[in-house]
Structure 1
Amino acid sequence: MTDRPTAPAGFVPGADRSRPPSPGDLALPVAGRRLLTGADGGLPRIEDLPADVDWVPVGTLDGTPAWAAEVVDADALPGRWRGWRGLAAELPEPLATLAGRALAVVTWRRTHRWCGACRTELVDVPGETARRCPGCDLTVFVPLSVAVLVAITRPGRDGGPDELLLVRHAYGPTELWALVAGFVEAGESLEAAAHREVGEEVGLTIDRPAYVDSQPWAMSGPGTLLAGFTATVTGPDAEPVVDPRELTEARWFPVDALPAELPPAYSISRWLIDAVAV
């Protein structure tokens, strides 16, 4: 497999407000879906930015606290503002994971300022990434949306190599050949979601999916977690029938002759493709 991190080594999510930010702590300013990097492409430090920024703890990296903040006047800060796609592609782990966490927390705080039950302004829960209503005691956590991806294979024809089903989506990076994917519904297991998405998107049935790995994925929205599976199609001669609302094309490829237009190496989609292509 290519460029696959074994774990977010050194990064630990957290919400410790027991002390204020120190000058040498990591700083992650967020403006919309963009994050600020320093002139060298790395993350700036608290000392590099104005003193009046309202910093929120997001965890530690190799023991160094990291803080995020929403910025209104982005042009006033020194450095380079970069979109999440570029950051995820270029930042090494665990910096990319930390950047995604900062984007998720800042976006959640902006969209969860008021209680949805009694409309009282929420306050932070000490030591947790949560907000609580002082009026009715409703507690709100960062929402987590889980999606599944499935690398579907079938035996090769006439003793040839196995084949992998790849699809082109009707939205997003439409030029890429990717995997069947979709979000898990409330009350649904990961495996059930994999079966359902495969049936809905390409009209196929699969054997029990085997879990491979997971990846936080801020590119699909703050608080998104991807869970990757492999599975074998039931009925080796079955051909995909695409749902045109989701896909533009679906095709079987020999694992030793995959197209060049594949997902980037930092994505779990590519990890799964590489896993079955070995």
Structure 2
Amino acid sequence: MAGRKLLTAVDGSVLRVADLPAGTDWVPLGTLDGVPAWAAEPAGAQDLPGRWQGWTALAAETPEPLATLAGRALAVVTWRRTHRWCGACRAELTDVPGECARRCPDCDLYVPLRLSPAVLVAITRPTPAGRPDELLLVRHSYGPTGLWALVAGFVEAGETLEAAVHREVAEEVGLTLAGLAYFGSQPWALSGPNVLLTGFTATVADPDAEPVVDGRELAEARWFPLDRLPAELPPAYSISRWLVDATVTAARR
């Protein structure tokens, strides 16, 4: 790693320990297919041979479970770089053996690597008999603005995941939901690997309701028939796309 970029071999594979300079300070990540995996941020890393890629580009072309391992590497190494000092007494933190955590030797403050929980939801509404149900898709005012995506947002302090979904939907598109159900989770998001993203499905409480965008985070929101979704959807490797595809598949049964 160097900054926010990760190094892979030219063919996109993971580098071996022998490929990097001797004396590199390695950080354990766990195992991949039973083989120990490590991450490092060596001095002069930008001069090493291989392919340097940002998180989004790497995740787009790297299959699982390598994508998850790469995300963990970026999260762990970045956290270690940005959490050297105690936020309470300013002493230098020390590693906790066997954990991805640090502790202050002076005031005993415990500092684990934390993820930011976030939610996203595929919202559908029924239509008159003979017509396909519709899916709500939105365009954001920042980030990949060309994509039609799902309503999403971060969980706030004191919220359950379900409460966060209801709040985000109410704030961003002014709708209320019914039948909220858990779909699955992903240990990273398109915005970065420090996110635990949880997906849900739901139906709109009032089938006649139209979305009203907040004008800040969202630029546009529309209902799309499930048999005529736009081409500009989230990439196939993301939980957002899994939710969209699962919704379409369920409607065909």
Using structure 2 for the length normalisation, give the TM-score.
Answer: 0.96
Distance in 2 of aligned mates of 1:117 and 1:208:
44
Match of 1:211 among 182, 191, 201: 182
| Whole-Å separation in 2 of the counterparts to 1:140 and 1:221 | 21
Superposed, 1:156-171 pairs within 5 Å as 156-171=127-142
**1:185-200 alignment runs, 5 A limit:** 185-200=156-171
Q: Do residues 274 (structure 1) and 245 (structure 2) align?
A: yes
Letter in 1 for 2:118: A
The superposition leaves residues 126-169 of structure 1 with CA deviations (integer Å, 9 ceiling, x where unpaired) of 00100011111111001110110010000023530100000000
Distance 1:70 1:219, change over 3 A: farther
RMSD: 1.1
Determine if the alignment matches structure 1 residue 43 to structure 2 residue 14: yes
TM superposition shift of 1:208: 3.8
* Aligned counterparts, 1:57-72, within 5 A: 57-72=28-43
* Residues 1:180 and 2:151 aligned together: yes
Cross-structure match for 2:232: 261
Identity percentage of aligned residues? 76
Amino acid at match of 2:149: A
Quote the Cα distance in structure 2 between the aligned partners of 1:243 and 1:218: 22
Letter in 2 for 1:93: E
The alignment status of 1:224 with 2:202, answered yes or no, reads no
- Tell me whether 69-78 or 58-67 shows the greater mean CA deviation: 69-78
- 1:32-67: CA deviations, max 9, x gaps? 111100122101100111012111101100111111
Contact 1:131 1:140 in 2 (8 A): yes
Q: Which residue of 2 aligns with 1:104?
A: 75
Q: Which residue of 1 aligns with 2:99?
A: 128
SS of the equivalent of 1:207 reads strand
How has the CA–CA distance of structure 1 residues 218 and 104 changed in structure 2, closer, same or farther, with 3 Å as cutoff? Answer: farther
Distance in 2 (alpha carbons) for counterparts of 1:71 and 1:261: 38
1:223-262 C-alpha deviation (Å, 9 max, x unpaired): 2110000000011000000011011100000001000000
Structure 2 SS opposite 1:50 = coil
Q: Would you say the 8 A contact 2:190–2:238 is kept in 1?
A: no
Distance 1:219 1:190 in 2: 19
CA deviations over 1:168-221 (Å, ceiling 9, x no partner): 001110000000000000110000000000000000000141000100115423
Q: Tell me by how many angstroms 1:74 deviates.
A: 2.5
Shift of 1:222: 4.1
8 Å Cα contact 1:107/1:222 also seen in 2: no
Q: Give me the TM-score of the superposition, normalised by structure 1.
A: 0.87
Match of residue 114 from structure 1: 85
Q: Equivalents in 2 of 1:156, 1:73: separation in Å?
A: 59
Q: How far apart are 1:68 and its partner, in Å?
A: 0.7
